[in-house]
A and B are shown apart, each in its own frame.
Chain A
Amino acid sequence: MSDAIINAQKLKKVYELPAEKIVALDEIDVGIRKGEFVAIMGPSGAGKTTLLNLIGCLDGPTAGSLNVLDHNLSQLKERQLVLLRRGNIGFVFQDFFLVSSLTALENVELPLVFARMQHKNGKAADLLDKVGLSHRLNHRPFELSGGEMQRVAIARALSTSPQILLADEPSGNLDMKNARSIFDLFRRFNEEEGVTVLVATHNARLAHTADRVIHLADGKIESEEVLKNG
């Protein structure tokens, strides 16, 4: 795929446990184009999270090559991986993982602090406005509902204006209504801001709101569905 901003060739990840070896990804080839909205589906243990972690520079592959934004990740040092992740990749987790001592606004500002972009703090409030939480800026996570917390997490993931948004089971802890609104947000940011979105999900209905669905099973790509041609 020539215009891919994520390109994996024969990507393999093996976890070596004391008792056994677990092949989480087994020599898969994946290409994601800029501006694509891709859903990754599969049962637990299929390798969805592993794939997102490798693309997000949180983990390294056992074999194969992985290029993200024209960087061969296996050639980058830890510091370079941090810089690549910090400026270009946003994360959304199933459990939200908001910092409980900080308000919604401060949580969204957090990546800006690490990226030394405090001068863009105004963007945090804008993002919270875009996700419909302008009235919750100064609420702490425990004062928010699950859906609201996930929307804060999305705003946080987008605060440094990343090119890629990785979401690992973002609707896993939400009811259908909230889950749908989260996917609507992904679609909105994908279309309006041009953010490339990769979402791992169990939910087939939600997955089919994406441009493309990659089905993983036992670390291999089982099938692909193209739902919308870009």
Chain B
Amino acid sequence: MKLLMIAFKNLKRRKLRSLFTIGGVAIAVAVLVSLLGFSAGYKKALTNDIDKMGYQVLVTAKGCPYEAATLMLKGGGGLRYMEQDVYNGIVSDERIDKATPQLIHTVYDPDRLDGRGGFALYVGIMKSHLELKPWTKFKSGKWFTKDDADEVIMGFEAAELEQRSVGDKIFIPGIEKILTVVGIFERTGTQDDGVIFLPLKSAQQLFDLKDKISGIGIKLKNIEELGQFEEDMYEVPGTQVISMAQVKGTFLNLVSSAKVLVTSVAIIAVFVAAIGVVNTILMSVFERTQEIGVMKAIGASKLDIFRLIWMETILVCTLGGIAGNIGALLGGSIVERVVKGLLPYAPEGQIVLITPTALLTSLIGAIILGLVAGIYPAYRASSMRPIEAIRSGE
């Protein structure tokens, strides 16, 4: 027989009370697991929503217009470039999930717009462009055959405007170069629809901009690091950082609100559970005053009694933790429905994501709760003087 067995048997002695206390801990743990699951799931679901928006940060050469409308207002001019080495330097940053360089160039075409003339927007890209804009699908054709191929892929509107299809040849006035259309993208509803894409290397050669790029689209692994990342990017000379400020703000607000909510509710739940555990164990200690006195008389030391009562508390909390985990797993879908009904904006997909980490964290939390909550009752029990404790029942 071991102390643990004695502790367990003592809990069994007052089954109903022990069950209520375990239930209290289980509810707190289930709330904690659900909230942790919500925090993780909500973040993931929101991140997925953000992912659909493409890159979160655009690093461009200082003063360079980065939006097609601005570019056109500037008469297709005013473009500035930075060295491709900047991309090579940035891409190794561990915070970056994906990055893609691009080279923007405008060419005036007098035949454009039914002979009224206009600027055609050419963008040199790498295949990572598709990873950052995964919604970009081919309407027809495919990706470039080589990194420096004399080929283009046309945005949906650009192809419509010029009545192009795969296999057609296009002529770039001023450059005096003929390129083959190898693909046409589907409509994306973004400014990419009016762009003519070509391999980055080909663009650098054609427009005589060797090792130059206009900007780098960046997606971070953890969007919460966006603020610090932006700060760091400002340090890179000759560049400017354009972030999706509104999206970032909204996202960070939502995640922060969720975190505050989760933390507050979890703290309250754990606090209430801790009070319940302390109360139950303390009551049990007072009821067993005489028994504790006798245990001391038959050889138990202060430490033995402390360990015994501490074990009881830890047992209650551990069992509560296990029950809470099971409860959270079984009730996850209900919580999901309730939370989705309550949230003003619920992202798509699962927003209560109960992960093994959340389960383990909560179980460890419950054990720590037991360790802390057990200290006072265990101390009270171990401090009892045997004689007084034995006499207490007289």
Contacts and interface: CB of A to CB of B under 8 A. Distances in A.
A binds B: yes
Interface of A: 53, 56, 58-59, 78-79, 82, 85-87, 90-91, 93, 95, 97, 99-102, 106, 109-111, 113-115, 118, 121, 156-157, 160
Given A99-B291, A101-B9, A114-B304, A121 B1 contact: yes
Contacts of A102: 6, 9
Contact of A101 (B12, B297, B302): B12
B290 interface: yes
Given A59-B387, A93-B294, A102-B6, A86 B299 contact: yes
B273 to A, nearest CB: 24
A156 B299 CA distance: 11
Interface in B83-121: none
Contact of B299 (A59, A95, A100, A115): A115
Interface in B372-394: 386-387, 390, 393
A79 B1 contact: no
Given A93-B294, A97-B294, A118-B1, A111 B299 contact: yes
B146 interface: no
Contacts of B290: 97
Interface string B281-303: 00000000011001111111110
A110 B2 contact: no
Contacts of A118: 1-2
A91 B302 CA distance: 18
Residue from B9, B12, B299 whose CB has the most chain A CB atoms within 10 Å = B299
A110 B295 contact: yes
B298 A82 contact: no
Interface residues on B, range: 20 to 34
Contacts of A86: 299, 301
Interface of B: 1-3, 5-6, 9-10, 12-13, 290-291, 294-302, 304, 386-387, 390, 393
B155 to A, nearest CB: 78
Nearest to A91: B297
At the interface, is chain B mostly helix, strand, loop or mixed? helix
B200 to A, nearest CB: 75
A97 B299 contact: no
A106 B393 CA distance: 23
Contact of A58 (B3, B6, B386): B386
Contacts of A113: 1-3, 6
Given A113-B2, A157-B298, 15 more contacts: A58-B386, A58-B387, A58-B390, A78-B302, A91-B297, A97-B294, A99-B6, A106-B1, A106-B5, A106-B6, A110-B295, A111-B299, A114-B295, A115-B299, A156-B298
A99 B290 CA distance: 10
A111 B1 CA distance: 11
Contacts of A97: 290-291, 294, 390
A114 B301 contact: yes
A102 B11 CA distance: 12
Contacts of B300: 82, 114
B304 A85 contact: no
B6 A110 contact: yes
A82 B297 contact: no
A56 B386 CA distance: 11
A58 B290 CA distance: 14
A191 B69 CA distance: 110
A111 B387 CA distance: 18
Contacts of B301: 79, 82, 86, 114
B292 to A, nearest CB: 10
Please list the 9 inter-chain residue pairs (A to B) with the smallest Cβ-Cβ separation, ordered nearest first: A86-B299, A114-B299, A97-B294, A101-B9, A101-B13, A114-B300, A111-B298, A82-B301, A111-B299
Nearest to A113: B1
B1 A109 contact: yes
Q: B12, B291, B301: which has the most chain A beta carbons within 10 Å? A: B301
Nearest to A59: B387
Contacts of A121: 1
A121 B116 CA distance: 104
Nearest to B13: A101
Contacts of A160: 299
23 contacts: A56-B297, A58-B297, A58-B386, A82-B299, A82-B300, A82-B301, A82-B302, A85-B297, A86-B301, A95-B393, A97-B290, A99-B291, A99-B295, A101-B13, A102-B9, A106-B5, A106-B6, A110-B1, A111-B298, A111-B299, A113-B2, A114-B300, A121-B1
A145 B281 CA distance: 30
A53 B387 contact: yes
Contacts of A100: 13
Nearest to B305: A114
A113 B9 CA distance: 15
Contacts of A95: 393
Contacts of B302: 78, 82
A169 B304 CA distance: 28
A69 B393 CA distance: 31
A181 B390 CA distance: 25
Nearest to B7: A101
A99 B302 CA distance: 18
Contacts of B294: 91, 93, 97, 99
A82 B387 CA distance: 13
Contact of B390 (A87, A93, A157): A93
